[in-house]
């Protein structure tokens, strides 16, 4: 029998056979098409052609026939190494620089991109794989001659590439291979599923739909000042869409319609420059659904793919789930974590989508929330995408961070960000726009020594019918909430995501009905939550956080119609902000308050944010917390990359020591019972993510010692009825005792 790549057992005695030669050429052709987007079709073809050469071995052919049931044997065969042979052949065939990228991709196409040398914390290394010469020698005579012919390879991306971008180029090649391999295999093993892929409209067609939507929106909109301004912003964005691809920014105060205007720019830019898709990245999963819903209402469900951890399996079609695997759709709405951790990932499932970023548009919503401790590798990779892979990047925010030129001042960790002249602002006359759209007066403390107790803050809040107060920690939120009347809303990450979303809906309903509403919240409500209070209070924090909080005040400008502004009152609590980035931001704001010489009339001017971010970044100890430079840049000329170590270290959410607890909130009760009966089935675990609360190790151990939680199928779940409060969420520090006693 001809050597096989796959055997598909359809029924008892009905088998389908996928010849190895057919699979190699099928994968090669697909990978070639993908890599052609960045001018390296021949690289894609070669790694596809050689990726499974190890399957010509007797051991693999025996393994696949027996383990599939085609041949009978009492003893199943262990998996065999079929990925080293192609990597070794690359080293034999090509000179330095050329063979290593091929070897990384082929050797890692199942296990993930390897480290060059062993790292005690991460198993596997490419150097070890390359020492397995016998893997190739045993099968050399069985490989068809045409597969071994040397192919002429062009330079990476067709142009000279900087050494610190080589890791990105290899990861793009790897993405082409693993997606091509998966798609070719899927077509043989599950043709029905394969044929459900790719049924999306083009961006050109969506552009026409968008024009119809905008026309209806304009005709139906009230003739208000704010809508006039939004229309002007929209026009500026459409005009800027024809500009040369690269870096762009849209600096618009909260409520200026960035979600619609940035999409208008992206669609025009895609039409003008033949871009393939639009990726909209958002900092928080808590607000991603509302953005995706806006776009789905315009473009249709099947053209907008959400990719984040809070997806609901019941509302996701199979077509949308398939598109989320490799981002093969015109519009992707995802999170910063998903986007950037994928760009530094080594696993096949995370890297598979990356080649679909080529010749695309990335919109970074709330760009000020890019984490400073990862800023150097993030900006370097964004520059790589723009310079070598045809990507245009839009920085969208009301509080534009200082990401150009020297970042960090004269500190030893300072670095060069985006070139100063590279970012094109799409909105004209930002300073005038800031004044026109002013809807809130920010009242800063008169002195940096003016501290207030939570009792004093509670008293002030009670003087208002509708008020939002944002504090810096979950403990401050709980303590202040305990001083407020019954019916006051509480929002913090001690509440599961489902609880947070339900609470925000209730708050919006009371605001709409003009009922009294008091809300005590952590900063989770600041970015992107479409909510409108006449008065907000904010504990001292970074100026960007203060501005975001102010964006929840008089959002729609209704008070302006009566000649008033909303009030955003900043107070200095008795307890300082937590040590770390939040403390650095608060300290920088304190410095601005202390030195303010009336330069900042509103505290919302672009100059204020530029001054704040430059000062804030000067306080950062390290812009490369993941140590990407030593793992992926320093030895780039020798092609000695530590891909697996970099992937392990690049984690935007530092959850070391954190433990997740599944809680009994609404549907969570029934889902936990299903978990007990069925075990951790994938669909069930995805649904349970909405009913999970993360706590630190100390609080976890206290709950465990008190018998308030138990382990079920490897998951920690609520074990006592009084542990989760329907208002405040998970109770800590013995608070559950009072709850149980009251009941």
The span from the CA of 101 to the CA of 169, in Å, is: 9
The span from the CA of 130 to the CA of 151, in Å, is: 21
3-state secondary structure (DSSP) of residue 423: strand
Question: In sequence order, which residues have a C-beta less than 8 Å from that of residue 64 and are 6 or more positions away?
Answer: 4, 6, 7, 55, 70
Q: What's the pLDDT band for 316 if we cut at 50, 70, 90?
A: low
- The lowest-confidence range among 65-74, 163-172, 309-318, 439-448 is 309-318
What tokens appear for 102 in the block? 């091929």
**Does residue 539 have a pLDDT over 90?**
yes
Residue found under tokens 């830019």: 269
Q: What's the pLDDT band for 23 if we cut at 50, 70, 90?
A: very high
Q: What's the pLDDT band for 222 if we cut at 50, 70, 90?
A: confident
**Predicted local distance difference test score (pLDDT) of residue 598:** 66
Mean pLDDT for all residues in the chain = 90
Q: 34-82: per-residue pLDDT in tens?
A: 999 999 999 999 999 999 999 999 999 999 999 988 888 878 888 888 9
What tokens appear for 110 in the block? 């199942």
Q: How far is CA 742 from the centre of its chain?
A: 42
**Does residue 311 have a pLDDT over 90?**
no
pLDDT over 90 for what percent of the chain? 66
**Predicted local distance difference test score (pLDDT) of residue 589:** 94
Mean per-residue pLDDT for 575-579? Answer: 87
**Does residue 120 have a pLDDT over 90?**
no
Question: In sequence order, which residues have a C-beta less than 8 Å from that of residue 509 and are 6 or more positions away?
Answer: none
**Does residue 459 have a pLDDT over 90?**
yes
Q: What's the pLDDT band for 655 if we cut at 50, 70, 90?
A: low
- The lowest-confidence range among 245-254, 386-395, 560-569 is 560-569
Q: What's the pLDDT band for 586 if we cut at 50, 70, 90?
A: very high
Residue 570: its H or E element: strand 566-573
The span from the CA of 601 to the CA of 438, in Å, is: 11
**Predicted local distance difference test score (pLDDT) of residue 313:** 47
**Predicted local distance difference test score (pLDDT) of residue 308:** 64
**Predicted local distance difference test score (pLDDT) of residue 220:** 85
Q: 132-166: per-residue pLDDT in tens?
A: 888 899 999 999 999 998 899 999 998 999 999 99
**Does residue 310 have a pLDDT over 80?**
no
Q: 474-531: per-residue pLDDT in tens?
A: 999 999 999 999 999 999 999 998 999 899 999 999 999 999 999 999 988 876 677 8
**Does residue 676 have a pLDDT over 90?**
yes
**Predicted local distance difference test score (pLDDT) of residue 376:** 96
Residue 24: its H or E element: helix 20-36
Nearest to 64 by CA among 4, 113, 9, 21: 4
**Predicted local distance difference test score (pLDDT) of residue 602:** 86
**Does residue 284 have a pLDDT over 80?**
no
Question: In sequence order, which residues have a C-beta less than 8 Å from that of residue 691 and are 6 or more positions away?
Answer: 496, 497, 498, 662, 663, 664, 665, 667, 668, 671, 672
Residue found under tokens 């991109």: 113
**Does residue 303 have a pLDDT over 80?**
yes
**Predicted local distance difference test score (pLDDT) of residue 739:** 45
Cα dihedral 658, 664, 668, 669 in deg (nearest 10) = 140
Nearest to 90 by CA among 134, 132, 150: 150
**Predicted local distance difference test score (pLDDT) of residue 528:** 63
The span from the CA of 577 to the CA of 586, in Å, is: 7
Q: What's the pLDDT band for 735 if we cut at 50, 70, 90?
A: low
**Predicted local distance difference test score (pLDDT) of residue 288:** 79
């Amino acid at each position: 029998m001809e050597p096989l790549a796959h055997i598909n057992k359809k029924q008892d005695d009905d088998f389908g056979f996928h010849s190895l030669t057919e699979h190699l050429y099928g994968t090669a052709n697909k990978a070639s098409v993908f890599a052609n987007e960045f001018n390296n079709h021949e690289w894609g073809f070669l790694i596809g052609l050689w990726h499974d050469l190890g399957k010509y071995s007797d051991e693999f052919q025996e393994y696949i026939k027996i383990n599939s049931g085609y041949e009978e044997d009492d003893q199943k065969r262990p998996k065999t190494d079929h990925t080293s042979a192609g990597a070794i052949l690359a080293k034999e065939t090509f000179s330095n620089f050329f063979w290593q990228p091929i070897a990384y991709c082929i050797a890692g196409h199942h296990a993930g991109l390897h480290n060059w040398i062993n790292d005690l914390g991460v198993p596997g290394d490419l150097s070890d794989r390359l020492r397995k010469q016998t893997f190739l020698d045993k099968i050399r005579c069985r490989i068809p001659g045409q597969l071994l012919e040397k192919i002429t390879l062009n330079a990476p991306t067709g142009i000279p590439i900087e050494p610190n971008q080589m890791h990105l180029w290899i990861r793009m090649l790897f993405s082409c291979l693993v997606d091509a391999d998966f798609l070719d295999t899927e077509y043989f093993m599950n043709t029905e599923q394969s044929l459900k892929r790719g049924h999306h409209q083009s961006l050109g067609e969506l552009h026409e739909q968008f024009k119809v939507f905008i026309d209806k929106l304009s005709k139906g909109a009230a003739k208000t000042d704010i809508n006039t301004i939004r229309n002007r912003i929209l026009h500026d964005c459409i005009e800027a869409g024809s500009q040369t691809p690269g870096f762009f920014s849209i600096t618009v105060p909260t409520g200026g319609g960035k979600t619609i205007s940035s999409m208008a720019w992206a669609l025009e830019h895609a039409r003008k420059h033949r871009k393939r898709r639009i990726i909209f990245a958002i900092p928080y999963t808590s607000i991603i659904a509302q953005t995706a819903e806006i776009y789905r209402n315009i473009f249709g469900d099947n053209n907008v793919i959400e990719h984040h951890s809070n997806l609901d399996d019941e509302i996701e079609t199979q077509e949308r789930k398939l598109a989320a695997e490799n981002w093969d759709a015109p519009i992707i709405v995802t999170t910063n974590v998903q986007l950037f951790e994928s760009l530094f990932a080594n696993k096949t499932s995370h890297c598979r989508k990356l080649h679909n970023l080529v010749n695309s548009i990335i919109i970074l919503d709330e760009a000020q929330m890019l984490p400073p401790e990862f800023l150097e590798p993030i900006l370097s990779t964004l520059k790589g995408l723009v310079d070598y892979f045809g990507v245009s990047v839009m920085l969208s925010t009301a509080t534009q961070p200082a990401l150009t030129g020297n970042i960090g001042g004269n500190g030893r960790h300072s670095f060069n960000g985006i070139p100063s002249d590279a970012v094109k602002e799409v909105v004209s006359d930002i300073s005038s726009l800031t004044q026109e759209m002013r809807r809130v007066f920010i009242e800063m403390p008169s002195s940096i020594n003016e501290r207030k107790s939570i009792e004093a803050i509670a008293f002030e809040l009670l003087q208002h019918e509708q008020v939002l107060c944002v504090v810096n920690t979950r403990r401050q939120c709980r303590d202040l909430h305990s001083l407020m009347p019954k019916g006051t809303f509480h929002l913090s990450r001690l509440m599961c995501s489902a609880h947070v979303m339900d609470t925000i809906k209730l708050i919006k309903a009371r605001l709409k009905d003009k009922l009294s509403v008091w809300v005590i919240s952590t900063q989770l409500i600041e970015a992107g939550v479409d909510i409108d209070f006449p008065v907000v209070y904010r504990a001292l924090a970074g100026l960007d956080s203060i501005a975001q909080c102010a964006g929840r005040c008089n959002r729609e400008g209704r008070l302006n119609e009566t000649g008033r502004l909303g009030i955003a009152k900043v107070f200095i609590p008795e307890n300082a902000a937590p040590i770390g980035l939040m403390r650095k931001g608060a300290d920088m704001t304190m410095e601005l308050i202390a030195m303010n010489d009336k330069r900042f009339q509103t505290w919302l001017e672009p100059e204020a944010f530029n001054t704040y971010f430059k000062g804030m970044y000067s306080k950062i100890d390290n812009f490369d917390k993941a140590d990407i430079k030593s793992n992926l840049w320093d030895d780039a000329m020798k092609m000695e990359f530590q891909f697996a170590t970099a992937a392990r270290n690049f984690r935007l959410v530092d959850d070391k020591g954190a433990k997740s607890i599944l809680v009994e909130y609404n549907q969570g009760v029934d889902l936990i019972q299903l978990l007990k009966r069925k075990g951790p089935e994938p669909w069930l675990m995805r649904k349970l993510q909405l009913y999970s609360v993360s706590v630190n190790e100390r609080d976890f151990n206290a709950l465990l010692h008190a018998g308030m939680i138990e382990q079920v199928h490897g998951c920690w779940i609520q074990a006592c009825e009084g542990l989760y409060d329907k208002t405040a969420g998970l109770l800590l520090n013995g608070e559950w005792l009072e709850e149980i006693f009251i009941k």
